[in-house]
Each structure stands twice: as C-alpha cells, then as structure tokens.
Amino acid sequence: MKALVTGAAGFIGSHCAERLKAMNFEVIGIDNFSPYYSPDLKNRNAKSLEKVGIPIEIIDLRKPEDFKKIPTDFNYIFHFAAQPGIAATSTFEDYLMNNLVATKNLMDFALSCKDLKLFTNISTSSIYGLRATLTEDAAPEPASLYGVTKLAAEQLVLAKAREHKLKSCSLRLFSVYGPRERPEKLYTKLIGCGFFHQEFPLFDGSEAHVRSFTFVDDIIDGVVSVIGKEDLVDGEVINLGTEQEHTTGEGMAIVEEILDTKIRKEVVAKRGGDQMFTKANINKARKLLNYNPTTTLKEGLGKQIEWYRKEFVD
C-alpha cells in the first residue's frame, strides 16, 4: 500500500508519516516548508523521516503545476497541510489560499489517483467555535478565519463523497500536543521558557481556558484507524481527542512540576477567536474506529519535555 501525507514535515503530519511507515506502507511526504515558523524545525523533522525511508518532496499545494512532481498511484491520502492557528501575522489570503485553494487542488489531484481507497482530511475543533463540546452533527460556529476556512475545506472534501466521486472523511482534532509541537504553541513555548529561564507571554485570561489536550500518539492512533474502514467512514466527520479536561493553568503547573522550576509570566492581550472551552465528544470515534486515547496529560508532557531536552538543550 502507498500513502501520501501532506504537511509531512510539520508536527502531526510527520508523526503520521512515521506511523504509516511502521505499518509497512510506502510513504511519500510533501511540504512547502512555509516560513510561518522556522524552516529549520521542519528540516529537522524531514531529516528524521528520511532516515526511516520517507522521502519529502517540496511541493506547494497552491500551485497545480507542482503536482506533476509526484506519482498518482496512491491508495491513501492524509491531508495535514494547512495555514494553522489564529496568529495575528496570518492574513485572510493566507488562510484562503493554504486551507481552501490548496485543498481544492489536492482534491483535483486525488481524482486522478485511480487506485485511491480513501482521502482523509485533517480538520480541527476550531470549526465548532468558542465552545467546542458538540457532536459532529451540530451546526458549526467558527469564530476565526482559521476555523471558517477549515470548515470550507472540509465541506469541499465531503462534497466529493456526496457526489460518489471519491471516498473521503474528515477528522476534527482537539488540542494536540507532544514532541515536534510548533514553536508558537503553548507547551513548546512554555517548556523552552522553563529551560532557558525566559518570561512566558500568557494571553490574558487563558489560564482558565479548558482544553481536551490530546497527546499526538493518541491522535495518530485515530487517524490511521480509518484504514480498512473506507465504507464505514466515507462521508463522515469524526472527532478525535481525549475526554479528559484540563485548564491551561493546570497544564502549565504540570510543566513547572516536571521541570522543577517556576516560570515567569507576562500577561499580554487576549487573542481574538481563541477558544474558551473544548471537550472532545468521541462517541462516534469509539463506535466507528474503536478509538480509545489513554495518555494522561502528565505522561504526554513528560515525553514532550524529554524531546525538547534532547533537541534543544543537551
């Protein structure tokens, strides 16, 4: 079996590519090495993948001509590439082109893959809005450009399933953390501040936000479980995350406990569109995918801290 993973040099995509390789898939990764954050970090991920036999092609999904660089004999496509988060530095055009136009181009490519069994779109709990606690059939209320464009991309993918042109599904992920987490994300930034005795910028009020913080390995368990269940998941939206709830403050306290240090914090202005409450409702994932995340927040953060220590401290 052969799989294509987009955004393979990124955080979650790189973990998925490695898991597929361990499952004896032939895996090709693609990434445009966007400067959204330091390309050096993506290069680290790419080198790790190449060491286990996963080539990374530099391809920009916004450019249809770039698809000529890769073959069309894929059995599975896992689409992680996106303009992430709610950063103030990202424009509407960034979200539009990287989340919607890029997905449209990838779908056109997927239709040329005659042996494709399933197109898996990786989506986000941000689609639900400021309080992400709902089931998959609830009306979305995205409150950010990121959530709006990810919802549009999701519907673009599912439209092909409704037209019976392509088997596809969309997985909405909840607050993923772990080794290789992006540098602007909560725990990587917090851990770095702890190791290097720097001040952590804390968004006003965010320590009270409640999250389904989900360890990346548990997320990948759910992602790869769609394999072999093509008829079951075709046209479906499925939440992936943990049912455990923690405030951001609780997570920060766990990091400080493991590092045995008190991290200085500077309160900064709130971010528009930041979610206040997320709790993954995974009844559907349990039923369709036998999904069962088990990693506690303390276990996962311990692993992330060890990764950070090896990569940037030792």
Catalytic residue numbers read 146
Counting beta carbons within 10 angstroms of the beta carbon of residue 1, is it exposed (0 to 12), middle (13 to 18) or buried (19 or more)?
Answer: middle
Tokens encoding 256: 């400080």
Contact 188, 312 (CB under 8 A): no
Q: How many CB atoms sit inside 10 A of residue 151's CB? A: 22
Counting beta carbons within 10 angstroms of the beta carbon of residue 158, is it exposed (0 to 12), middle (13 to 18) or buried (19 or more)?
Answer: buried
Q: What is the rounded CA–CA span in Å between residue 190 and residue 184?
A: 9
CA atoms within 13 A on the CB side of 105: 20
Q: What is the rounded CA–CA span in Å between residue 275 and residue 142?
A: 10
